[in-house]
Amino acid sequence: MGSASQDTYTLPPATSPSLGLAHPTDAEKRRTWALNHTHWGGALTLEQYLKREAYFTTIPLTRDGGMTHWILTDSAWSPAAATDSSTRPVLASCESIRKRVLVAYSNPDPGADSTTAAAATVHERVGHGIGSVFTYPEFRGNRYAARMLSDLGPWLRKWQAQDGRDAACSALWSDIGKQYYAKKGWAAFPSLHAEFLVPVPVSVSVDGKESGREEQEEEEESERGKGEGEGEITPISYDNLEPLCQRDEQLLKERLLRTARATRRTSAAFAPDHDTLRWHLYRDDYISSVLFKTAAPFARGAIAGPEGRRVWAVWARSYGGIGAPADNVHKNKLYILRLVIEPEASEEMKEVPSNDIQEAFTAVMQAAQRESSRWHLGKVDLWNPSTIVKKLIDQSGLQHRWVERDEDSIPSMMWYGDEDVRNVEWVANEKYCWC
């Protein structure tokens, strides 16, 4: 373990029993954010980034204990041992976000009748998303992040558990390939996405003015004038988001039950609830308000089709690189957080999607491309589409390519149930799950 004499402190090995998890002070959080700004700050200045990280602790999903900050530190350290600082060593750090997880178990009796199968229920459990895994530069090469995660994974099984039940799972999104976290218990799951190119941008400038809008406005006005069921696009906003989330969750529960019965495996999904979607949208709002200094309207998604036969998508912007968004269009993306097909149960068995569903899907994706064009976003990404969505994409006529991510944003899960994680179906493994 580390030496803690009166005048020196020696870094301990990662296996030292004196190392353990703790929660950082506000000062330690701020120092951590200052150090990881170069990794995750993007186009934000340091001061803007510090304000953003503090703000993220106050919004739905993460406030009131929804987000927990973790550090790995050394209990053998004492102020008397410090030679140049009176602060304890923060050897590694990360965050966890409490989330709702929906779980459907396969029917254990192969001979059960349809009544028994239909009576199956979806169970609600606690889950955790892990993000911002970071090692202070001066401590790298000592395997401290690995030690922190090896302690944190089992700890989260009981952390914030409800009704005496263990958490269902924890998940993270690896930016260092598929092997590192898998060896620590977070198995890599599919990481396929469809990437749609965006036409030449019709953009919003930093002063809020738009250029080249005449033709686009005429097209949008034409779409708004269409009657319901004839291709009308309804924008998603904060005003109509919550009922869509409620309907989505109802449909997702039905899909979980179908999947569990069909695969005879436990099926699980992070709930695409109102707080989860707003976490992404508030994050988008903050960054875009800094970059554009404007309140120009931005659609949060789009809906097409009449009720009962709707397709909708909720999306958010992501800006990469340093400098103005217009200088990094090739790095900027619009992420489809969640795509919903309201009659999915009836569509998923068809060889070819119904014409009205195909038209609605294509209209929604075209709306996403137009919104991307306005905001200097060069691509639209849709993660891990279902079988029916893959068919819709391939028949949409929209220019796209399929990308299998091998290094970045690899969805990885540690399962706390009795089943091996390889026997768990992660349903709706889309961008809204990410944190």
Instruction: State pLDDT tens for residues 159-171.
Output: 999 888 999 999 9
CB 333 within 8 A of CB 376: no
Residue 211 has pLDDT above 90, yes or no: no
For the record, the structure tokens of 89 come out as: 């060593």
Which residues are within 8 A (CB) of 108 and not within 5 positions of it... i.e. 6 or more apart? none
* Interhelix angle 238-263/274-292, nearest 10 degrees: 130
What Rg, from alpha-carbon coordinates, does the chain have?
23
CA-closest candidate to residue 233, choices 299, 285, 185: 299
Neighbours of 295 (CB within 10 A): 10
Q: How confident is the model at residue 220 (pLDDT cuts 50, 70, 90)?
A: very low
Eight-class DSSP state of 37: H
19-188 CATH choice from 3.40.50.150, 3.40.605.10, 3.40.630.30, 2.60.120.680: 3.40.630.30
Instruction: State pLDDT tens for residues 48-70.
Output: 999 999 999 999 999 999 999 99
Report the phi/psi class of residue 312: left, alpha or beta, with left for phi > 0 and alpha for psi in -120 to 50: beta
What's the CA angle centered on 54, arms 313 and 332, to 5 degrees? 40
For the record, the structure tokens of 386 come out as: 């279902």
What is the rounded distance in angstroms from the CA atom of residue 173 to the CA atom of residue 167?
18
**For tokens 């459990």, what's the residue?**
125
Q: Is the dihedral of CA 10, 13, 15, 21 positive or negative?
A: positive
Eight-class DSSP state of 73: E
**For tokens 């449909």, what's the residue?**
251
Residue 149 has pLDDT above 60, yes or no: yes
* Interhelix angle 26-40/46-55, nearest 10 degrees: 120
Say how far residue 77 (Cα) sits from the centre of its chain: 36
Using CA atoms, how far residue 363 sits from 12, 132, 183, in Å, is 58, 36, 42
Which residues are within 8 A (CB) of 352 and not within 5 positions of it... i.e. 6 or more apart? 391, 395
Phi, psi of 414 (to 5 degrees): -105, 120
Which residues are within 8 A (CB) of 377 and not within 5 positions of it... i.e. 6 or more apart? 198, 201, 317, 318, 329, 332, 333, 334, 371
> Which amino acid, 332?
N
Which pTM does this prediction carry?
Answer: 0.90
Give the per-residue pLDDT at 163. 86
Instruction: State pLDDT tens for residues 388-433.
Output: 999 999 999 999 999 999 999 999 999 999 999 999 999 999 999 9
Neighbours of 328 (CB within 10 A): 18
Q: How many CA atoms lie within 13 A of 280 on its CB side?
A: 24
Using CA atoms, how far residue 405 sits from 183, 191, 365, 431, in Å, is 19, 5, 22, 13
Instruction: State pLDDT tens for residues 113-122.
Output: 444 443 478 9
Q: What percent of the chain has pLDDT over 90?
A: 77
Instruction: State pLDDT tens for residues 337-368.
Output: 999 999 888 888 888 999 999 999 999 999 99
Give 50: exposed, middle or buried? Use CB within 10 Å, 0-12, 13-18, 19+: middle
For the record, the structure tokens of 240 come out as: 């109509």
Give the per-residue pLDDT at 9. 79
| CATH 3.40.630.30 location in the chain | 19-188
**For tokens 């999903």, what's the residue?**
61
Q: How confident is the model at residue 207 (pLDDT cuts 50, 70, 90)?
A: low
